[in-house]
Structure 1
Amino acid sequence: MAQKRGERRRRAAGSGSSAAKVDKPERGFAARWMRRLLVWGTALALLGAIALGTSVYFAAQNLPSYSAMMSSQNGQTIVVRARDGSEIVSLGPSYGQWLYDDEIPTVMKDAIISVEDRRYRSHFGVDVLGLGRAIYNSLTGGGRIRATSTITQQLARNVFLNSNRSMDRKAREMVLAMALEWKFSKEQILELYLNKVYFGGGAYGIDSASRNFYSHSARDLSLEEAAIIAGLVKAPSRYSPTADADAAVSRGNVVLGQMRKYGALSPSDSTRIEPGVVNIKPDGGSNSVRYFTDWALPQLDILLNTDSFEPIEVWTTIDPDMQAAAVQSLRANTPSGTQGALVSIEDDGAILALVGGTNYVESNYNRATDAVRQPGSSWKLFVYLAALEAGYRPDSTVKDVQVTIGDWSPRNSGGGYAGEMDLRSAFAYSKNTVAAQLGNEVGFGTVASMARRFGITTPISEYPSMVLGSSETRVIEMVRAFAGISAGGYSVEPYGITKVTGTNGRVLYERETPRRYQLVPDYVAAGMTDLLQAGVSIGTGRAAQIGRPVAGKTGTTSSNKDGWFVGFSSGVTTGVWMGRDDAKAVPGLQGGRAPAQAFSQFMRVAVKDRPIREFDTDTGLPEWQIEPDDEYLYNDSEDYYFIDEDGNLIEPVGPDRGGRNPLDPDAEPRSGGEGRSRPAPSQPEGPPAASDDFLERAIGGELPADQPPQRRRPAPAAPPPPAPSTGDGQRRPQPAQLP
């Protein structure tokens, strides 16, 4: 037994010895890989450092000189002129005097360093500690890396790069920042930065910002003023003193707190900025014409094929008096707590006035060109256009009765039904049930196509309720559509820029009149004008009357969220929208009230110097478009050939020619007028042959010369209607038009 126990112990010991021999090589394997990773990591870091150093060196060698960087511009100066040539606004960069390092107040330097780059004096262009902290916070807290740009990086971005948020741009920004630190001193970099950074309102550099906001040079900046200017760099538009003084003061106090925290101010300094203490220069940028320039000037990227920063002058279509009248009409009529927008254009598309809100400083969101809202009953323009094109006339009879289309049962505004009425009255009183029936009859897709034909680019629903304006659209597009009716059914393309000139008056762009297309026939446009005129004279838009012919349509959406009026007079088309940005209901808001009143107030000014234009409401077809009726065809067979039930041609031998009328074979022959009767053949062998001219054209060749020529009969102006049935299942001979 003892011997067996000894053997087991030896086996166990041997097993342990074997395990130890196996573990030792494993530990050696891991150690070797750790050493390899350390060596390769060091080598890669060394190569990366060499590559980075090389990139920085070559970037520094290629940087422009200090004087060249001083003279470089960050943008383009643009002077915008009205249609009469007067200057309405000057945009683009505004540069004050260049302040050298020893001219810049110390409080300005301390303020900008404290809030933008507190380690500016110690880093080499990139704040490694700040970058590491930002990366750590991003990894632990989620979200993207932020707040990692030093003053030098910001200068590199502003002068050499764009603001795209990409890793490639960030890497180049870092390389250029280190190159700037390599080539220039800290004082030179800070001087460049403070003279070039953007502070909002078109102001580049602290001197321009000081003059814009405080009306004096930056040499005289106080501590409080410097703190407010330094606070603008983070968000120039949000903290602009002229746009939001309270926000600017609050941000300035944050800057003062940073200055105390990092030693630029004594911790015991209790300086605070109080509202009203800092004198802010009144802002001229509140001019509502900025809504127009915000829409028009981006088009220069397409109109001008150049990358030059040459100062330019842009000549526009804006009428200053009309623009002022538009602002006044909105302010006087827009309900409290709501916004308004107005667009007015001529029949050729020239924009005369454009206002995208009640106050540009409070909100520069352009509700005239960017906002999409439901147009309500003003959308019925397209429903009735489709109906008129399908054959309806203003006097056509329709029925205002309860109707259900699928599972949708529209109701009128008043809840009642008027029964039988003409189309004009149905439109004037904005009968929803009639619009629904018309849309269902012509097809909701047809209505959508009509809207697109007239320039609506937003998505259009083809559900039945679309006839009441459930699809959202823009104010400028609705005005464009109504202007197409004012222009007689022709296309209208809104435009605001007529010419662009550079230095010395050199013309860089001049608008050419585009080709115009007929969107609907003349009589359809005339019929629509008839309906629109009734909408103002007797219908829901009576408040839009201006003492001369005017046509238009109201629009009110459910729960009074939107109110519209769009109309035209004397070649000017204007649209007004009112509502809340959050699309909440506005008690009492209806298109026939405040919007129509604003329209009337504006249009009285807009057309006062224009001749009165009577509307063309003649819906009769031109004579050449009118198809001849049966009586005309039967009684004037001189100009027609006829075919029998088998399709064979029959030469006319009607009563005016003394023979039997092929349209009524049972009738007795009658004599016609003088010199036009002839005896009927006693034994006809078949229908008379067609004329030689007809046969030649039919077979594409010539007949033998011995054939006697026959008289050619002219073709009618339009194809005849189908022949009536005889009642016995046979078709009467039909008149056939010559090819």
Structure 2
Amino acid sequence: MANGRGGRREPNFDVPEGRAADPAELDLRLSGADRAGGGVAKRETGTRTRNEAPRRASKPKRKARRPLLGRLIYAGLVLSLWGVIAVAGLVAYHASQLPPIDQLAVPKRPPNIAILASDGSLLANRGETGGRVVSIKELPPHLPRAFVAIEDRRFYSHLGIDPVGITRAMTQNLTRRGLAQGGSTLTQQLAKNLFLTPERSASRKIQEAILALWLEQKYSKDEILELYLNRVYFGAGAYGVEAAAQRYFGKPAKAVTLAEAAMLGGLVQAPSRLAPNRNLPAAQARAAMVLAAMEDLGFAKPADVKLALATPARPAGARGGGSANYVADLVMDVLDDFLPKFETDIVVSTTVDTGLQAAAEKALVDELNLKGGRYNVAQGAVVSMRPDGAIRALIGGRDYAQSQFNRATTARRQPGSAFKPFVYLAAVERGLTPDSVREDSPVNIKGWSPENYSRDYRGAVTLREALALSLNTVAVRLGQEVGPKAVVQTAQRLGISSPLQANGSIALGTSEVTPLELVGAYAAFANGGTGVIPYVIAGVKSAEGKVLYKRSEGGLGRVIDANAVSMMNAMMHETFVSGTAKKAEVPGWDLAGKTGTSQDFRDAWFLGYSATLVTGVWLGNDDGESTKKVSGGNLPGEVWKAYMTTALKGQSPTALPGAGRWRNRGSDGPVATASTPGGLLGALLGEPEPPRPRVATTQRGRAPSADDRNFLEKLFGLGE
């Protein structure tokens, strides 16, 4: 049937009838004829029938295997290729995290403020960097060479990264113990300082290398080295070699020696650990390594290296004990008033005299070191200015390193009797004179009964005598006569800006003031009646010399009548002749001033002046603890005299404005002077007592007593 339909032929598996097909007997393999193109006859064997057994295929020939070395080379090449691709991918990725190359720029260095003394010498640097930018041409050759020798000896031959240096560092880290070695070039270090964070990661190192290559393409080697030297950190807030040289050696970078250059070059590896002012032996050992490297590279002559090793660098002590920093702090406090904005380095010229600054600091520190413990006084301040308000010396504390609080400008303390000149000025402006008489006797104001320092009374006295001896009762009576408001207004007119309480005790200096403003107010007496605004900045220039600010003449105008100035100077001169300031007299000089002691001996003051210099001294404790009877006439007077003796040396003595008109003009005879002692002092020394309205008395009688001897101590400057 199958053969009858369309000629279709059914497959015949040649299985005998009556027997089932055995799968094992079936040959289902395709013959060559069964495949596409199976009709093509084979060249050698021809066709074979379907039932013909297939010929066994011959074994293929085994290919020759490559040598092991060849296979390793091949694998290495493949791995290297993939490594290059991976590195390229990493570089591309991390490069994409950076700003586009055409937008990259070296960030501006924060501006430095160089603060100079009146003679042009550097007092201090301020700003984030601690020093000005210097050109590599300004520096001695051994300074940049020290950094190249120890940090990157192939600096002038590599392209920003140094494979040799990296390999050497890796080898040392694997084979040696101790401090890990770095393979970063100077260019890489600069890239990190300019653009990157301090984190240590593979990502940052890749970016560092990319930026180093960019820097090498954009700048010359000397430009890169100059950027590096001005940006690298040396510790102690010093960025750049100029800041470091000033910080550690007290000199500009252009003046450092070979030994100092080696120490600076070695310092950048670990600024905190190797700072010479903290760990001098470690700093000197590292400097010796730098010198050896410089000699090995031919950067320094063997003889010079030998000398540098024999005399290693040592840090310089802070000039003036660091007190110039108090001046610098004041400059920074007021600079915005004159130059609100600046983006480049500036130079600020001040009125401060370095010699006077050092003399003022020495006088204060020596006194506190000698007597501070005995008298329980820990701190002090000194302000000295010309009569026009130009600050010549300013000491804000005993030790700037220990305390940066500026007591000269910021601490408000009770002036005590140093405030009395404002009371007397208000009185003479209302018609009284140095020879006007007032009663020194007990006084009571609504239950308040102030006493004199010595707790005795002298009866009727002239204003000249009352001010010289700092009699509290007379000052209080005068304050009541003119009115507390008039006293406050007078003080404010002369430049006191601190809040003042218009009450009865204002006459005894119970309202707090700063040393700076009190000295500034006294300047009006020294200059003949013109109010001043104390100032320290004389001018400001850019680093290139362009004038940005120059102080013009200024002040508060006339604040005291000429006749009133004459009377005040005559009365305050008497304090140096026969009063509480006698111990501070400088022979040959016409001086005037006033002492002051606050309640419970918390504050002690001495304010005094010549016609050329006004100086104030304050001593006390920051926490207000009482001293052991430190009064204006003893320790502060000693500081004042020590300083003024130095400050006035070599100058020609000049008379105080108008003082001669009212000096020694008592209605009943001359006032006692240094050459003709009178009163109690004259009696004890066997000198005749000059005529006066009334003889000094005490409540206990006229004969010298223990209280009289106490008064004598005060008269010589041991009291108020």
Which category describes the TM-score, using the shorter chain as reference length? 0.5 to 0.7
1:408-557 matches, cutoff 5 A: 408-514=448-554, 516-547=556-587, 548-557=589-598
Partner of 1:321: 355
Separation (CA, whole Å) in 2 of partners of 1:195 and 1:499: 26
> Residue 617 in 1 paired to residue 655 in 2?
no
- Counterpart of 1:359 (choices 399, 412, 436) is 399
What is the deviation of 1:429? Answer: 0.8
Separation (CA, whole Å) in 1 of partners of 2:276 and 2:403: 15
What is the deviation of 1:390? Answer: 1.7
What is the deviation of 1:564? Answer: 0.6
> Residue 390 in 1 paired to residue 430 in 2?
yes
Partner of 1:558: 599
What is the deviation of 1:435? Answer: 1.0
1:542-691 matches, cutoff 5 A: 542-547=582-587, 548-615=589-656, 616-617=658-659
Question: Deviations 1:488-531 (Å, cap 9, x if unpaired)?
Answer: 12111211222222244322221111155111211111111111
Provide closer, same or farther for how the CA distance between residues 227 and 569 of structure 1 changes in structure 2, counting only shifts above 3 A: closer
Question: Deviations 1:349-401 (Å, cap 9, x if unpaired)?
Answer: 11111111222222232211121111111011111111111221110010011
- Counterpart of 1:74 (choices 95, 103, 110) is 110
- Which residue identity does 1:303 align to in structure 2? F
- Which residue identity does 2:624 align to in structure 1? A
Q: Is the 8 A contact 1:60 1:183 kept in 2?
A: no
Provide closer, same or farther for how the CA distance between residues 210 and 220 of structure 1 changes in structure 2, counting only shifts above 3 A: farther
Partner of 1:185: 207
What is the deviation of 1:331? Answer: 2.2
Taking structure 1 as the reference length, the TM-score comes to 0.55
Separation (CA, whole Å) in 2 of partners of 1:365 and 1:456: 21
Q: Is the 8 A contact 1:427 1:531 kept in 2?
A: yes
Provide closer, same or farther for how the CA distance between residues 441 and 188 of structure 1 changes in structure 2, counting only shifts above 3 A: farther
Separation (CA, whole Å) in 2 of partners of 1:211 and 1:382: 45
- Which residue identity does 2:659 align to in structure 1? T
Question: Deviations 1:541-592 (Å, cap 9, x if unpaired)?
Answer: 1112001211010011122221110011132111011112222122131110
- Counterpart of 1:304 (choices 332, 339, 343) is 339
- Counterpart of 1:331 (choices 365, 369, 375) is 365
Percent of counterpart pairs with the same letter? 34
What runs of 5+ residues in structure 1 fail to find an aligned partner? 1-55, 111-154, 161-172, 230-239, 250-277, 621-739
Separation (CA, whole Å) in 2 of partners of 1:222 and 1:292: 30
Q: Of the two structures, which has the highest relative contact order with CA contacts closer than 8 Å and spacing of 6 or more?
A: 2
Separation (CA, whole Å) in 2 of partners of 1:106 and 1:194: 23
- Which residue identity does 1:296 align to in structure 2? V
Separation (CA, whole Å) in 2 of partners of 1:207 and 1:549: 46
SS at match of 2:605: strand
Provide closer, same or farther for how the CA distance between residues 220 and 533 of structure 1 changes in structure 2, counting only shifts above 3 A: closer
Provide closer, same or farther for how the CA distance between residues 186 and 524 of structure 1 changes in structure 2, counting only shifts above 3 A: same
What runs of 5+ residues in structure 2 fail to find an aligned partner? 1-93, 134-142, 153-160, 174-190, 216-226, 250-259, 284-311, 663-720
Separation (CA, whole Å) in 1 of partners of 2:313 and 2:621: 33
Partner of 2:410: 370
Q: Is the 8 A contact 1:211 1:217 kept in 2?
A: no
Provide closer, same or farther for how the CA distance between residues 296 and 219 of structure 1 changes in structure 2, counting only shifts above 3 A: closer
What is the deviation of 1:65? Answer: 5.7
- Which residue identity does 1:302 align to in structure 2? D
Partner of 2:327: 292
Q: Is the 8 A contact 1:210 1:221 kept in 2?
A: no
What is the deviation of 1:197? Answer: 8.0
SS at match of 2:563: helix
Separation (CA, whole Å) in 2 of partners of 1:541 and 1:57: 75
- Which residue identity does 2:626 align to in structure 1? A
Taking structure 2 as the reference length, the TM-score comes to 0.56
- Which residue identity does 1:314 align to in structure 2? V
Q: Is the 8 A contact 1:523 1:618 kept in 2?
A: no
Separation (CA, whole Å) in 2 of partners of 1:218 and 1:84: 28
- Which residue identity does 1:468 align to in structure 2? L
Separation (CA, whole Å) in 1 of partners of 2:485 and 2:379: 33
Equivalent pairs, count: 465
Q: Is the 8 A contact 1:374 1:473 kept in 2?
A: yes
1:146-185 matches, cutoff 5 A: 185=207
Provide closer, same or farther for how the CA distance between residues 476 and 188 of structure 1 changes in structure 2, counting only shifts above 3 A: farther
SS at match of 1:449: helix
What is the deviation of 1:604? Answer: 1.7
Provide closer, same or farther for how the CA distance between residues 60 and 187 of structure 1 changes in structure 2, counting only shifts above 3 A: closer
SS at match of 2:464: helix
Separation (CA, whole Å) in 1 of partners of 2:245 and 2:523: 46
Separation (CA, whole Å) in 2 of partners of 1:188 and 1:370: 51
What is the deviation of 1:317? Answer: 1.4
Provide closer, same or farther for how the CA distance between residues 516 and 468 of structure 1 changes in structure 2, counting only shifts above 3 A: closer
- Which residue identity does 1:601 align to in structure 2? A
Question: Deviations 1:159-212 (Å, cap 9, x if unpaired)?
Answer: 89xxxxxxxxxxxx99x99xx989972678999999958665441279976995
Partner of 1:379: 419
SS at match of 1:68: coil
CA RMSD of aligned residues (A): 4.5
Separation (CA, whole Å) in 2 of partners of 1:379 and 1:307: 41
Question: Deviations 1:433-473 (Å, cap 9, x if unpaired)?
Answer: 11111111211111111111111111112232222111111
My pick for the range that moved more, 597-606 or 479-488, is 597-606
Provide closer, same or farther for how the CA distance between residues 565 and 63 of structure 1 changes in structure 2, counting only shifts above 3 A: farther
Separation (CA, whole Å) in 2 of partners of 1:106 and 1:570: 69
- Which residue identity does 2:595 align to in structure 1? T
Q: Is the 8 A contact 1:342 1:356 kept in 2?
A: yes
SS at match of 2:372: coil
Separation (CA, whole Å) in 2 of partners of 1:406 and 1:201: 58
- Which residue identity does 1:442 align to in structure 2? V
Question: Deviations 1:587-617 (Å, cap 9, x if unpaired)?
Answer: 1311101111111121122222332222313
